[in-house]
Amino acid sequence: MTQQPETAGRPDTAAPAAEVPPARTPAGGSTVADLDLGPALEAVLMVADEPVAVDRLARLLERPAARVAGALAGLAAEYAAQGRGFDLREVAGGWRFYTRPEYADAVERFVLDGQTARLTQAALETLAVVAYRQPVSRSRVSAVRGVNCDGVIRTLLQRGLIEEAGSEPETGAILYGTTQYFLERMGLRSLDELPGLAPFLPEAEAVEAESPEGMPSFAPDDSDGSQTAGA
């Protein structure tokens, strides 16, 4: 009778101790507080996509805020003295790396070469169809372009320019739409700022004159019905 409470009590006291070390000990075996402050700050800020506040850095690296602020100022002065291609700046309540203005031409050439040049004509056409007809399925995109677009759709998904946007209730086909990254790359605040297509389309009268069935539709069901009716 007296042994049962002792046996039951031992796992309760051992469990918390077993959970603590993995949460605090990095791969190298030391804690974050043991890391050199300067390199640790550089590593964190290198992957930050927005300015990081001193208080947050101090909490993450387990150091006093005053010490972190001093280390940041020291790094910024060091980079400036060495004439590096980047600066460490305090902006918008935090710290972040920025390229120096005198190297803007080199950065611009790299960005343009790495982004716009790699989008093929097929990718641009497919992206335009998704942007103007979203949400839209792969089959509809293929119908508009007249070729299979599966490979191009995968490329645009990998590039983060489009994303899944639900599915069609009737067929279950996956629908696609553009992403926030697409708006950023295009310099748009919303899809409402996409340029209108009207100036690039033929007049309705001209289209109707060429086709007695009126304006064409790219919906698979409609196109099949039109061919049947015409037959």
Q: What is the pLDDT of residue 195?
A: 84
Tokens at residue 103, please? Answer: 């190297």
Distance between CA 46 and CA 94 in Å, rounded? 14
What are all long-range contacts of 177-185, with beta carbons under 8 Å and residues at least 24 apart?
177/130, 177/134, 177/135, 177/136, 178/127, 178/130, 178/131, 178/134, 182/127, 182/131, 185/115, 185/161
Predicted pLDDT at 207:
42
Token digits for 48?
A: 């930050």
Task: With beta carbons less than 8 A apart as the criterion, state whether 86 and 79 touch.
Answer: yes
What size, in residues, is the chain? 231
Residue 185 has what pLDDT? 83
pLDDT for 24 equals 47
Positions of the chain with pLDDT under 70: 1-30, 111-118, 198-231
Task: Give the residue among 188, 192, 183 at the shortest CA–CA distance from 161.
Answer: 183
Q: Which pLDDT value is given to residue 199?
A: 61
* pLDDT for residue 87: 93
Q: So what's the pLDDT on residue 80?
A: 94
Six-digit token string for 132: 């103007």
pLDDT at 107: 85
Q: Is the CB of residue 130 less than 8 Å from the CB of residue 162? A: yes
| Residue 82: per-residue pLDDT | 95
Helix segments in 35-137, DSSP class H: 37-46, 54-61, 65-82, 104-114, 121-133
Q: How far apart, in whole angstroms, are the C-alpha atoms of residue 109 and residue 166?
A: 37
Cα–Cα distance measured from residue 208 to residue 187, given in angstroms and rounded to the nearest whole number: 36
Q: Given this model, what pLDDT does residue 167 score?
A: 87
